[in-house]
Structure 1
Amino acid sequence: MRIPPTRTPVLLGTQLLFNVGFYAVVPFLALVLTRDFGLTALAVGLVLGIRTFAQQGLFLVGGVLADRFGARRVILLGCAVRVAGFATLAAALLAPTPALPLFVVGTVLTGLGGALFSPGLNVLIADAEARRPDAGGRSRASLFAWLSVTGELGAVIGPLVGAALLGAGFVVVALSGAAFFTAIGLFLRVALPPDPGRRTARTRGGAWWSLRDRRFVGFSVLHAADLLAYNQLYLALPLHLARTTDAAAATALMFASVSVLTLALQLPLSRWAGRVGAAVALRTGYALSATGFGVLAVGATAATGDAAVVSAVFVSAGLIAAGHMLANPTALALVPRFAAALPTGSFFGLLATCGGVAVLGGNLVSGALSTWPAVPAAAAAFLALPLVVAAVAAPRLAARVASPPRSAQASFEGAVRD
């Protein structure tokens, strides 16, 4: 049951298009919820948290479906669901009275769409990585690092497109996003090769085998610290910048600096990770992010002026971003090794789902601790602790993984024949 090869530029271009369409719409949801529906900050956070969990928390379901029905089918279904989500957002505002329940349904559908197509894309990227010709002893960036770069480029372009359309109203933004994902779906329907038609009993029964692999479950739980840490670029760090006079400008500049760092450093860091090995790359990545929160803790305790606070936050953001650039592509590249002769969809799904659960619970604690006046560094210490644990334990699990087969799907096919 071999996956037909897909051209790498198609896969990387798909990630770019997905992020352009996503970031053209989703960053403006909070504005609409406060301006059009009059929700409080707490209520907005709840709605957006549900959307995030619908995406990250359900990645495991998307991965299982990719294993059961094929990556192409699930990717196309994800595009259709996101189109429905964006159209529902527009419909909620076109109603005679803005319909908040319908708008919430739309936000959940946008998350569910991502939970469907992202695991499928990871499956195809992993297969393309396994098919790459030997580098001849040279270190090179993995396709997952390239996926991060193209995704970040889309995250930069998307908000600019959305902001340009926002003058005509959010309905235009949402409908444009729906039209864009319709076009992406039609393109992928032609560009992606058909899924294999044959499904063996082992394929159907193995869809949930990622949950039976205690070693991989442990690795996924440990690596969740990375997604929780990276998510603080949107929570803990802006809360620290909120203490400064020109918080909005400082926050925008911080996001811009993270994007520049990602575009400039992702590939060199990935090549270095290839030279030193997965265990060292993971340990270094987690340690860098933990150090970032250490800087944030010191800044929260000692900084007295705006310049000191902004400097501490920017250094922290740079370290967290660098840590994520090392740890996350490395973890994704390890998934086929953990899966060995099994389909990889549910394994990618479990890795992301553990991160989504950690973000949902961790953000609640981090947000509460960030406003705890008695210990201003408490949130940073809370976020650094799981990274320290991951830096110690996760590389040990990664080091025990056997060398990857030439193609995880090809090995699975051989295992079924045997």
Structure 2
Amino acid sequence: MRDLLRRWSILGRLGELPRPMRLIVLGQLAFNTGFYLVLPFFALHLTRDLGFGGALVGLLLGLRTFSQQGLFFLGGALADRFGTRPVALTGFVVRIAGFLLLALAAGPVLLVAGTVATGFAAALFSPAVEAELARRAGDLERSEGPTRSEAFAMFGVAGEVGIVVGPVIGSLLLTVDFAVTTVAAAGVFVVVLVAFARGMPREPAAHAGEPILAGWGEVLRNRAFLSFTLAYASWLLSYNQLYLALPVELDRVGAAGLLGGLFVVSAVMVVLGQLPLAEFVRRRLGTRALPMGFAVLALAFLVTAALIAVDAPGPVPAVAFVVTLTLGQMTVVPVAQDAVGRLAGERRLGAHFGVLASAGGLAVLGGSSLLGALLDAGGPPALPWAVTAALPLASAIVMGVLVRRVPALAPEPSFERNRS
């Protein structure tokens, strides 16, 4: 019974990680708690409290996405050059400043400054801590500790808890004032800043003294990694349909009020199922989970399209989409994050993680625009879902080829290793 509980308990698994890795995993919980204190209510604040129109709201939300996801490549390269600790700490300070600016902002200038700061902060600390976790988890795996994919599974579970907790606290604080909510979010990052400053070891950067351009050059010469990055980009585009296509579908069937509940369903699936699934994948599939996971993502869109086409009742297509997409996410993401370290040869992990994330951001920018046009075109409601399925399906094919042909991605199912 004790072993069974350990499989399902993130706290039990965290005890197997060294202190810096535990700090990163718990930090992810705090990152998302602080961020989601504010993000779900930002557009409402802009329209209801400040009276801004949809064009300015869309611009601000777009700026936030671009300044975060689009600039990950820069944050990752800086982490390689100057080290994880200083770059992450700088990101926390910038995020705190951004939230305080949003608390004070009543006009476009401060709103733009605060929005860009909150986004750019994540572009600094996220690739830095992901690269650090990948490096330390790789070392731990080689010493017969938890695998890197399992460490990233814990990282993902912690993030999902934050996604659930943040909006709950934010909704309570919002009854007082939006400024109170943003100051509270800034306070969360002050705690994270202090914890990282005290708990993250001072270590020399892996590529100190080398020019930043050398890191990007190394990434761009890694053809296997670039192919992997292009294929992986459809994951982030698929995931972002929770924010674009899913609300449209729920509104179509008159069930818009279920959106928040479906996000909770997705988060609960990850919290309860991510670690057991990661262990199964480690033992039985290895990197073969990559093409399988992308096939599940494609299936999520195909099943939704089919259910819409046959006029399935009410929110059934939306529920099927969320459940199947989350299953694909849980299968793909931990294995893919482990694969980055393999493909990078354990070098310049910051630059590699940064480029991976920025490519996903570009895919979301372009793909969501095209999908949005399809959603607005007034054609058959199943069509956008069927068309989008082609992207993760293509990724499944590419990932299958890479797993067969790239030595760094050769499957190493853990049933060949005795960890008991």
TM range (shorter): 0.7 to 0.9
Does residue 1:370 correspond to 2:379, yes or no? no
Does residue 1:210 correspond to 2:219, yes or no? yes
Report the Cα distance in structure 1 between the residues aligned to 2:277 and 2:271, rounded to whole angstroms.
11
Go from structure 1 to structure 2 and tell me whether the alpha carbon gap of 1:11 and 1:136 turns closer, same or farther (over 3 Å shift): closer
Matches within 5 A, 1:109-258: 109-132=117-140, 142-196=150-204, 199=207, 206-208=214-216, 209-248=218-257, 250-258=258-266
Go from structure 1 to structure 2 and tell me whether the alpha carbon gap of 1:197 and 1:239 turns closer, same or farther (over 3 Å shift): closer
Is the contact made by 2:135 and 2:346 (CA closer than 8 Å) also made in structure 1? no
Is the contact made by 2:342 and 2:408 (CA closer than 8 Å) also made in structure 1? yes
Query: Which position in structure 2 is the counterpart of 1:320?
Result: 325
Is the contact made by 2:140 and 2:147 (CA closer than 8 Å) also made in structure 1? no
Deviation digits for residues 257-298 of structure 1, max 9, x if unmatched? Answer: 111111121112211221234442111111111111012212
Is the contact made by 1:76 and 1:189 (CA closer than 8 Å) also made in structure 2? yes
Query: Which position in structure 2 is the counterpart of 1:276?
Result: 284
Three-state SS of the structure 1 residue aligned to 2:172 is: helix
Go from structure 1 to structure 2 and tell me whether the alpha carbon gap of 1:51 and 1:197 turns closer, same or farther (over 3 Å shift): closer
TM-score normalised over the length of structure 1? 0.88
Cα distance, 1:403 vs. partner? 7.0
Q: Higher mean Cα deviation, 197-206 or 55-64? A: 197-206
Report the Cα distance in structure 2 between the residues aligned to 1:133 and 1:184, rounded to whole angstroms.
26
Query: Which position in structure 2 is the counterpart of 1:64?
Result: 77
TM-score normalised over the length of structure 2? 0.87
Partner amino acid, structure 1, of 2:190: T
Equivalent position to 1:12, from 8, 18, 25: 25
Please tell me the root mean square deviation across aligned C-alpha atoms, in Å: 2.3
Go from structure 1 to structure 2 and tell me whether the alpha carbon gap of 1:372 and 1:302 turns closer, same or farther (over 3 Å shift): farther
Go from structure 1 to structure 2 and tell me whether the alpha carbon gap of 1:78 and 1:377 turns closer, same or farther (over 3 Å shift): same
Partner amino acid, structure 1, of 2:248: L
Q: Higher mean Cα deviation, 205-214 or 60-69? A: 205-214
Deviation digits for residues 222-279 of structure 1, max 9, x if unmatched? Answer: 101011101111110111001233422x112211111111112111221122123444
Report the Cα distance in structure 2 between the residues aligned to 1:360 and 1:50, rounded to whole angstroms.
11
Deviation digits for residues 328-354 of structure 1, max 9, x if unmatched? Answer: 111111111111152210000011111
Deviation digits for residues 176-218 of structure 1, max 9, x if unmatched? Answer: 2122212211221011001316855557563212122122112
Go from structure 1 to structure 2 and tell me whether the alpha carbon gap of 1:50 and 1:204 turns closer, same or farther (over 3 Å shift): closer
Does residue 1:38 correspond to 2:51, yes or no? yes
Is the contact made by 1:203 and 1:343 (CA closer than 8 Å) also made in structure 2? no
Report the Cα distance in structure 2 between the residues aligned to 1:283 and 1:363, rounded to whole angstroms.
23
Structure 2: which 5+ runs fail to align? 1-17, 411-420
Cα distance, 1:90 vs. partner? 1.0
Go from structure 1 to structure 2 and tell me whether the alpha carbon gap of 1:197 and 1:336 turns closer, same or farther (over 3 Å shift): closer
Three-state SS of the structure 2 residue aligned to 1:402 is: helix
Paired-residue identity, %:
38
Cα distance, 1:365 vs. partner? 1.4
Is the contact made by 2:207 and 2:348 (CA closer than 8 Å) also made in structure 1? no
Is the contact made by 2:80 and 2:208 (CA closer than 8 Å) also made in structure 1? no
Report the Cα distance in structure 1 between the residues aligned to 2:332 and 2:82, rounded to whole angstroms.
30
Go from structure 1 to structure 2 and tell me whether the alpha carbon gap of 1:130 and 1:13 turns closer, same or farther (over 3 Å shift): same
Partner amino acid, structure 1, of 2:389: A
Query: Which position in structure 1 is the counterpart of 2:104?
Result: 91
Report the Cα distance in structure 2 between the residues aligned to 1:341 and 1:13, rounded to whole angstroms.
24
Number of equivalenced pairs: 391
Is the contact made by 2:134 and 2:148 (CA closer than 8 Å) also made in structure 1? no
Go from structure 1 to structure 2 and tell me whether the alpha carbon gap of 1:244 and 1:170 turns closer, same or farther (over 3 Å shift): same
Go from structure 1 to structure 2 and tell me whether the alpha carbon gap of 1:216 and 1:155 turns closer, same or farther (over 3 Å shift): same
Report the Cα distance in structure 2 between the residues aligned to 1:391 and 1:256, rounded to whole angstroms.
27
Query: Which position in structure 2 is the counterpart of 1:299?
Result: 307
Is the contact made by 2:137 and 2:147 (CA closer than 8 Å) also made in structure 1? no
Q: Provide runs of 4+ in structure 1 moved above 4 Å.
A: 133-141, 197-205
Query: Which position in structure 1 is the counterpart of 2:10?
Result: none
Deviation digits for residues 63-93 of structure 1, max 9, x if unmatched? Answer: 000001001111101101101110110111x
Is the contact made by 2:255 and 2:314 (CA closer than 8 Å) also made in structure 1? no
Go from structure 1 to structure 2 and tell me whether the alpha carbon gap of 1:145 and 1:197 turns closer, same or farther (over 3 Å shift): closer
Report the Cα distance in structure 1 between the residues aligned to 2:186 and 2:129, rounded to whole angstroms.
20
Report the Cα distance in structure 2 between the residues aligned to 1:197 and 1:364, rounded to whole angstroms.
39
Partner amino acid, structure 1, of 2:104: A
Go from structure 1 to structure 2 and tell me whether the alpha carbon gap of 1:100 and 1:36 turns closer, same or farther (over 3 Å shift): farther
Report the Cα distance in structure 2 between the residues aligned to 1:267 and 1:316, rounded to whole angstroms.
22
Is the contact made by 1:6 and 1:128 (CA closer than 8 Å) also made in structure 2? no
Report the Cα distance in structure 1 between the residues aligned to 2:198 and 2:298, rounded to whole angstroms.
44
Is the contact made by 1:206 and 1:342 (CA closer than 8 Å) also made in structure 2? no
Report the Cα distance in structure 2 between the residues aligned to 1:243 and 1:26, rounded to whole angstroms.
24
Partner amino acid, structure 1, of 2:306: V
Partner amino acid, structure 2, of 1:271: E
Is the contact made by 1:287 and 1:387 (CA closer than 8 Å) also made in structure 2? yes
Three-state SS of the structure 2 residue aligned to 1:128 is: helix
Partner amino acid, structure 2, of 1:61: L
Go from structure 1 to structure 2 and tell me whether the alpha carbon gap of 1:402 and 1:379 turns closer, same or farther (over 3 Å shift): same
Go from structure 1 to structure 2 and tell me whether the alpha carbon gap of 1:176 and 1:324 turns closer, same or farther (over 3 Å shift): same
Cα distance, 1:378 vs. partner? 2.4
Query: Which position in structure 2 is the counterpart of 1:415?
Result: none
Equivalent position to 2:273, from 265, 269, 287: 265
Report the Cα distance in structure 1 between the residues aligned to 2:333 and 2:109, rounded to whole angstroms.
35
Cα distance, 1:9 vs. partner? 1.5
